[in-house]
Amino acid sequence: MRGLWTTARVRSAEERVLAATPPGALMRRAALGVAAVALELLGGGRRVGLLVGSGNNGGDALWAGYYLRKRGVAVFAVLLSPDKAHAEGLAAFRRAGGRVVDRLPPVDLAVDGIVGLSARGPLRPDAAAHVADLDAPVLAVDLPSGIDPDTGAAPGPHVRARATVTFGCLKPVHALADCGEVRLVDLGLGPELGGPDLLELEPEDVGAAWPVPGPESDKYTQGVTGVAAGSATYPGAAVLATGAAVLATSGMVRYAGAAAEAVRARWPEAICTGSITDAGRVQAWVAGPGLGTGLGSEAVLRTVLEAGVPVCADADAITMLANNPDLWDARDPDTPLVLTPHDREYERLAGPVGEDRVAAARRAAEKFRAVVLLKGHVTVVAGPDGRTLVNRARSSWAATAGSGDVLAGVLGSLLAAGLDPVLAAGCAAKVHALAAELAAAGAPIPASALLRALPDAIRAVRSR
């Protein structure tokens, strides 16, 4: 698991470490790290340009320029606020033969030292113009300028980095936004940091948590997943959600609803009934994909919420909960509920998502005392206890009709297997994104192809 710490937490840890280290030592350590990665990225190139802002981020860049000069690299620097440029860094840079220029000449690599942890809003026009002029790959110092360090929001012009060198610990931006390859330079902050604000699951965490049968297992060991989805007119969602539950674990799957014929035809291993009242016992329910929002569907959702087992409420189930708050009363507050809204569904439930997706997921998790999986290119999972996981998909191939039905099915089967609901949601999001990537292999895919790639994605995380 990778931990991510917000800027406020980094600042307070840094203060204590700064007080215990000689002046300038941390910055020079940071800058050495930047210079080392710059040399790697340069390959055979010999010319580096620095964009230097008014704070310590610019100081890091200037000191990195100093170290690069020592290695014989030609280094040019544009000072965006000449009066406020880091004094010692600038003196060292000049001493080593670095050249201050108004506009960067052609270079092999640009170093973005415009703004770091103190960033607010998009790049300002002057900085944006210099960035737009760049024709070389960019190495960002701490984070790509113009992106918010805590939310990853990029509301306007920002740097697109080939790589980012960050210091002390990872910050939310490194998981929430595209920072290129992220390298971490240790500043000895560890003991001062405390627990992280956000977590990002690594493939090996997902592999280790994924339920697989052991020698003593039978068909009930991994729980029975119930799927209440689809309709006579829209059986596809039921077929996809049930299929995902069938493929994700070796537990049993029961389908209950109007698409029973279609589901049985595609997934003979699922036990299908036409009505929720005949479904039998399950260890978790998936409710909502393609279910509709009429009175009959409300009755189905009510039955599921009253069942006393964990529920993954997706799609139409979310819309029904938003439209008819009485439905919440059917729920036992001590039984886990996972809501899986995309942004529009979230808005129906809890108002606009806004730029801070982590805060939005946490708000709804607290409000509904539920686990909220806010879908998107970056998926945020927040638990009612404040635990938060983020997963940034490496591709956008999962953005296709029916993809959410697959995610819900996977999640439901992990709940049935008894996984902690926050972990279940995080693991489902990760495997789902990986399956999309594997299935796509560079070309658009339908959700049924994503579904077929689930076993490969599970194998991939389990082999780590």
Ligand X SMILES: NC(=O)C1=CN([C@@H]2O[C@H](COP(=O)(O)OP(=O)(O)OC[C@H]3O[C@@H](n4cnc5c(N)ncnc54)[C@H](OP(=O)(O)O)[C@@H]3O)[C@@H](O)[C@H]2O)[C@@H](O)CC1
Binding residues for AMP: 375-379, 404
Nearer to ligand X, 65 or 341 (CB): 65
Task: List all residues 6 or more positions away from 388 whose beta carbon is below 8 Å from its beta carbon.
Answer: 197, 198, 199, 358, 361, 362, 380, 381, 382
Tell me if residue 184 falls in helix, strand or coil.
strand
Q: How many residues does the chain have?
A: 464
Q: Report the DSSP pairing between strands 337-339 and 311-313.
A: parallel
Minimum separation from the CB atom of position 85 to ligand X (A): 11
Judged by CB under 5 A, the stretch of 24-32, 107-115, 190-198, 433-441 that binds K ion is: 107-115
Please give the annotated binding residues for (6S)-NADPHX, written as ranges: 56-60, 116-122, 142, 237, 290, 342, 405
Binding-site member from 7, 54, 56, 145 for K ion (CB under 5 A): 145
Cβ distance 108 to 82 under 8 Å? no
Nearer to ligand X, 70 or 84 (CB): 84
How many residues make contact with K ion (CB under 5 A)? 4
Minimum separation from the CB atom of position 336 to ligand X (A): 39
Distance between CA atoms of residues 182 and 30, nearest Å? 14
Residue 153: contacted member of K ion, ligand X, none (CB under 5 to 8 Å, by partner type): none
Please give the annotated binding residues, written as ranges: 56-60, 112, 116-122, 142, 145, 237, 290, 342, 375-379, 404-405
Residue 112: contacted member of ligand X, K ion, none (CB under 5 to 8 Å, by partner type): K ion
Judged by CB under 5 A, the stretch of 78-86, 110-118, 367-375, 384-392 that binds K ion is: 110-118
Minimum separation from the CB atom of position 156 to ligand X (A): 9
Distance between CA atoms of residues 348 and 353, nearest Å? 10
Minimum separation from the CB atom of position 462 to ligand X (A): 38
Nearer to ligand X, 54 or 249 (CB): 54
Q: Which residue sits closest to ligand X, CB atoms considered?
A: 116
Judged by CB under 5 A, the stretch of 67-75, 139-147, 341-349, 374-382 that binds K ion is: 139-147
Nearer to K ion, 112 or 405 (CB): 112
Residue 120: contacted member of K ion, ligand X, none (CB under 5 to 8 Å, by partner type): ligand X
Nearer to ligand X, 167 or 255 (CB): 167
Distance between CA atoms of residues 346 and 227, nearest Å? 22
Minimum separation from the CB atom of position 180 to ligand X (A): 16
Amino acid at 238: A
Report residue 269 as tokens: 């291993």
Which H helix or E strand runs over 69?
Answer: helix 56-70
Nearer to ligand X, 58 or 235 (CB): 58
Nearer to K ion, 141 or 270 (CB): 141
Nearer to K ion, 64 or 141 (CB): 141
Task: List all residues 6 or more positions away from 287 whose beta carbon is below 8 Å from its beta carbon.
Answer: 228, 229, 300, 301, 304, 311, 312, 313, 314, 317
Q: What is the DSSP string of 326-341?
A: GGGGGS-TTS-EEE--
Of 81, 42, 40, the closest CA to residue 59 belongs to: 81
Beta bridge partners of 141: 165
Cβ distance 121 to 155 under 8 Å? yes
Binding-site member from 68, 141, 224, 427 for K ion (CB under 5 A): 141
Q: What is the DSSP string of 273-315?
A: ESSGGG----SEEEE-TT--SSHHHHHHHHHHHHTSS-EEE-T
Measure Cα distances from 372 to 211, 363, 417, 418, 426 in Å.
22, 9, 19, 18, 10
Q: Which residue sits closest to K ion, CB atoms considered?
A: 145
Q: Which residues bind ligand X (CB under 6 A)?
A: 14, 18, 26-27, 30, 53-58, 60, 114-124, 127, 141-142, 146, 167
User: Is residue 112 part of the contact set for K ion (CB under 5 A)?
Assistant: yes
Contacts to K ion by CB under 5 A:
112, 140-141, 145
